[in-house]
Amino acid sequence: MSIQDVISLLPLFILTAMAVIVMLAIAFWPNRRASFWLTLSSLILALAALVPAASTVPRHVTDLFVVDKFALFYMGLILAGGLVTTALSRGYMDKYAGNRGEYFLLIMVATLGASLLAISSHFISFFLGTGIVSLSLYTLIAYNPSQRQRIEASLKYLILVGAATAILLFGMALIYATFGSMQFEQISIRAVQPDQNSPFLLIGFGLLIAGISFELALVPFHMWTPDVYQGAPAPVTGFIATVAKAGIFALMLRLFSHASLPVGSPLWNEFAAIAILSMLVGNVAAVIQKSVKRLLAYSSIAHLGYLMVPFLAQGQLSPSAIGFYWVVYFITTLLAFGIVAAFSDPVNELDDSEAYRGMFKQHRWPAVMFGLALLSLMGLPPTGGLVGKVYLFAAGVQGSVWLLVAALVVGSVIGFFYYIRVVILMFSAPPSESTSIGPTGKGTSVVLSILTGILIILGLFPTPLIGMIAKIITNIL
């Protein structure tokens, strides 16, 4: 590797080295706050290292990685998500007995795995990245082993991820048997050749799509999502919904960036069916949920379905529409789960929707922030969710994928009902026998307020970010 290669991978080297340092610190100086500050500093340094890395791109680092502006954008998004999750976790983890410093180490390692996915250009790095993320999430989901719900959620995730990994590997094997290569670029370029559309290739790509859909929790590979979201600690749930999914989505974009998916082709039809089912099933299932975390779980399924619309439209607007919506989705989802975490503890989480009744009377600013997050998920002003939804709609219209656009509109209308129900509960009169939901910590309040401010700014002034994303992401789709 040359010095330029090292600089281009500097954010990952920082995370790797700091993970070892945090591990040694936990072993010889077990202090939760020290682990927190080391992890927070590591993620800030990794974000700062994106600046020198940007001066070296585009760059192929061995056959496994491609570091370009697209990769750096998604890596920055993932690192920022890990940073916010770490910051929001401090108040939550302070409610645990003992030091519990390994929690922050696992967040950093999972962020490293998701970042690897964003720069992957080979099946080996694909498998390595998913393995690092999954191994970290097993433990994070079951972080409080004294609670049966945590263990149950972790076991479900472990078993189903094992099955999904087997499906992925078999799909990779069939594709490799056809092409004799595991590099995305060679596979994608050859895949568009008419003489390469063999049954083995179609089955291989079909299995690969199924494995990716599981990682993204798309229907019909979504069954693990509500149980895991409800069972995992609230900050971890927000991390799964954002950071873990963004890495695999970026990898999917790169994998299919050189391949044509013409409307009506078998692979396009498979993706389209998954997207439509995700948008409709996710929203319909969310309507009947009384658990806020399960409601947000089904909501995340629907929103990943929305993101498939510009991916399948493959128009000029598609890359920037996907990038902008990911930014808004990250902010909104981390804000929503951050509010849940702020009023929860490791034993009793604020999960029942009825517990939010009258929240505005007790805690006005947190109720307003949560309400704005739900408005953004609905796609209503003054939040960035409105601009994001319009952008997705425009990309779908440009690509003439009318059935997908119709599913997006119908799903958004259905989603309005279950989001507004929670908003109404928060601003209703509190029950006569009200139980106090504890106040948020100062640090958590600051982080949540910053997220809320950014969400409103993106709703009112989205053009600078849209323009920046359009310049950065030019070589995908």
Q: 275-297, pLDDT tens digit by residue?
A: 999 999 999 999 998 889 999 99
Parent domain of 332: 275-477
Q: Which residue type, as a one-letter code, is found at position 190?
A: R
Residue whose structure tokens are 């089904």: 298
Domain count, the chain: 1
**Among 113, 386, 157, 373, which residue's Cα sits nearest to residue 250?**
113
Q: How confident is the model at residue 433 (pLDDT cuts 50, 70, 90)?
A: low
Which two structure tokens, joined as six digits, stand for 125?
A: 């790095």
> What is the Cα–Cα distance from 379 to 353, expressed in whole angstroms?
21
Residue 444 lies in a domain: yes
Asked if the model's pLDDT at residue 331 lies above 90, the reply is yes
Residue-wise pLDDT for 182-225, tens only, equals 888 887 666 555 555 677 888 888 899 999 999 999 989 888 88
What is the band of 98 on the pLDDT scale with cuts at 50, 70, 90? low
Domain contains 222: no
Q: pLDDT value at position 10?
A: 92
**pLDDT tops 60 at residue 477:** no
Domain assignment present for residue 323? The answer is yes
> What pLDDT was estimated at residue 197?
61
Mean pLDDT throughout 24-41? 87
pLDDT score of 192: 54
Q: Does the residue 42 lie in any domain?
A: no
Tell me whether residue 314 is in a domain: yes
Task: Calculate mean pLDDT across residues 448-476.
Answer: 88
Task: Tell me whether strands 65-67 and 59-61 are parallel, antiparallel or unpaired.
Answer: antiparallel
175 has a pLDDT exceeding 90: no
pLDDT digits (tens, 9 = 90+) for 125-170: 999 999 999 999 988 998 876 678 888 888 888 898 888 899 999 9
Backbone angles phi, psi at 55, to 5 degrees: -75, -10
Lowest-pLDDT choice from 144-153, 401-410, 429-438: 429-438
- Assess if residue 291 is contained within a domain: yes
Whether the predicted model's global pTM rises above the 0.85 cut: yes
Average pLDDT over residues 16-38: 88
Average pLDDT, the chain: 87
Quick count: other Cβ atoms within 10 Å of Cβ 394? 17
Across the range 413-428, mean pLDDT stands at 90
Per-residue model confidence (pLDDT) at position 326: 95
How many percent of the chain have pLDDT more than 70? 94
H or E element at residue 403: helix 402-426
Tracing tokens 């700062």 back to the chain, one arrives at 48
Task: Tell me the mean pLDDT in the region 324-338.
Answer: 94
Query: Is 22 domain-assigned?
Result: no
pLDDT of 17 over the 90 cut: yes
Which of 290, 279, 299 lies closest to 237, judged by CA?
299
Q: List, for residues 439-452, the tens digit of each pLDDT value.
A: 567 788 899 999 99
In a domain, 184, yes or no: no
pLDDT tens digits for range 226-252 = 999 988 888 899 999 999 999 999 999
